Amino acid sequence: MAVVYSIFHRLGKGGGGKVRAVQHRLNAFAEMRGFDPVLLNLDHHIRQRLNFAALRRAGALHPAVTYASLPDACLGAAIKAGIGVFTDYPAGAATRARVSTGRNKGYDALGAVVTRTYQTGKDVSRITLMDDVPYQLNVARPDGSVVTTDFAAGRPIGRWRRLGGEFKGGTNLVTGTFHQMARMFEASLFELVDWTDAVVFFDGITSAYLAPFATPRSILFLHTDHRDPDGRINARARGLIEGYQGAAIVTATEVHRRRLEADLVPARPVEVLPHFIQIEAHPPVPRRHLVTVSRLDLAGKPIDQAIRAFAAIMDDFPGVDYLIHGDGAGEAQLKELIARLGCGHRVRLMGYTDAPLAVFRGALAAVCPTLTEGFGLSILEALSCGCPVISHDVDYGPREMIDGRNGLLVPPGDEAALAAAMRHVLADPAPFQQASAEGLERYSRPRYLENYRRLVLQVLHGAAAGPPAAAQDGPAGAQREPSAPGRLDHYAWHDSARAYRLDG
């Protein structure tokens, strides 16, 4: 059984196209025999487990996808080093305790999380236990610093200090080594993980600095975070890509591959593995509005420009509203803009949706405002639903998928051109809709599964990769049935089906 890790810095309940693409990849390996997909999270906080449980419960993650934080993955090394279960609880009785069962608010899993708070002198200690086993200890000091100890199955793995939100050093409690920098502290833990029979995906350069400390059987999937806002590859990213010592470098589009090879000298040949879309037959529904499905991050997703463009033409289309699905840091700014333009009766923020395909099936057209796009999963989802797309002409996905018949591209920052594109599509959407689902064979799910199966087996066994799979009609490789409830993952101490809920 090959373990396939995907690294997350922090796990949210939602996420944009990049996050959903990683979830799709985890799910793909969960469906193929011989693979054990693991979401490896660098953040050990208990709420991260709750977010994972919420994603599983919502169907975003396959039941066979398992979870581990980085300290969890160090458990074997801690046991081998003779690290015992923590018993050195703060002196005195807890000043308060908070208990929550896994059944709270719709969660069906068993188990309990208990948080106990102690006052010891001027220190305030807060220890979180999962099923009566220490999980994390936070000690607030009078100087404003917080010292955190992370446990795996009750064994202390790492202790680190932060002040004013900044990392101030950490100790690997398995090796006893101290590290001043957060990245070197994480790297020291990475070296403790048993990478036998494992392949590790690093998505973007955000976590690629950890690749030298993992197995050589690692794969760097490049999205867009290696480029600065002006489109140039930043110096740190250049060093990571040109010096990458893992087994493979991958991206999702031919446009991106050509641009990478023009701008630098990747350490490995760049393979192209497109994302997929599963086209399913659905009864037709009335198409009524213009939509956007995106995280509300205005630095990279200029939805404010789309709102102003729609406000300029909305009187010409009285039966069409602009519905924006998503959440994020820019929500308050967008609400203020809508109020200032006086278009709240026609432009609505709908909140996060976990059913983007249903949104696109009922839309006249979609607007995907973006300044950079590694692939553009929302674009592919919209097109597969017969929903034409208006997007900015930016690297990389929009240029590969939008051809003028299934949507329109406009220059970034040109609100007049964006308004004109909206007007053109809304004036006669039918031809655009009819062309939207054409030519999507290369994004078929069987082809996607076969490409990833081939890549990981190549990395594991050193076999020649061969070209990416051609489109297929049948299933890719042997499939496995979804795991039965209660399946234990390869961490014998953790029942991956459990969900825990904290109050507040």
Bridge-based pairing of strands 112-120 and 96-101 is antiparallel
Contact 22, 203 (CB under 8 A): yes
The string of pLDDT tens digits covering residues 313-357 is 999 999 999 999 999 899 999 999 999 999 999 999 999 998 899
Contact 13, 44 (CB under 8 A): no
Task: Quote the pLDDT of residue 259.
Answer: 87
Question: Please, where are the H alpha helices in 344-414?
Answer: 356-361, 377-384, 397-401
Judged on CB neighbours under 10 Å (0-12, 13-18, 19+), 40 is: buried
The CA distances from residue 153 to 47, 75, 133, in Å, are 17, 7, 7
Q: What are phi and psi of 358, to 5 degrees?
A: -65, -35
Rounded distance between C-alpha atoms, residue 291 and residue 364, angstroms: 8
Spell out the residues 6+ positions from residue 311 whose beta carbon is closer than 8 angstroms to its own.
341, 343, 346, 347
Q: Hunting for tokens 């009750």 — which residue is that?
A: 154
List the one residue out of 237, 187, 234, 183 whose CA is nearest residue 213.
187
Peptide bond preceding 396: is omega within 30 degrees of 0, i.e. cis?
A: yes
Local structure of 12: helix, strand or coil: coil
The CA distances from residue 457 to 5, 198, 465, 479, in Å, are 14, 11, 9, 16
Per-residue DSSP letter, 222: -
Tokens standing for residue 439 = 């030519």
The string of pLDDT tens digits covering residues 26-72 is 999 999 999 999 999 999 999 899 889 888 888 889 999 999 999 99
Q: Hunting for tokens 């490789």 — which residue is that?
A: 477
Q: Hunting for tokens 């009285």 — which residue is that?
A: 318
Per-residue DSSP letter, 170: E
The string of pLDDT tens digits covering residues 118-175 is 888 889 999 999 888 999 999 999 999 999 999 999 999 999 999 998 999 999 999 9
Bridge-based pairing of strands 133-140 and 145-152 is antiparallel
Per-residue DSSP letter, 314: G
Rounded distance between C-alpha atoms, residue 96 and residue 348, angstroms: 43
The string of pLDDT tens digits covering residues 206-245 is 889 999 999 899 999 998 778 777 778 888 899 999 999 9
Per-residue DSSP letter, 233: B
Judged on CB neighbours under 10 Å (0-12, 13-18, 19+), 446 is: middle
The string of pLDDT tens digits covering residues 405-462 is 999 999 999 999 999 999 999 999 999 999 998 878 778 888 899 999 999 999 998 7
The string of pLDDT tens digits covering residues 357-398 is 999 999 999 999 988 776 777 888 899 899 999 999 887 778
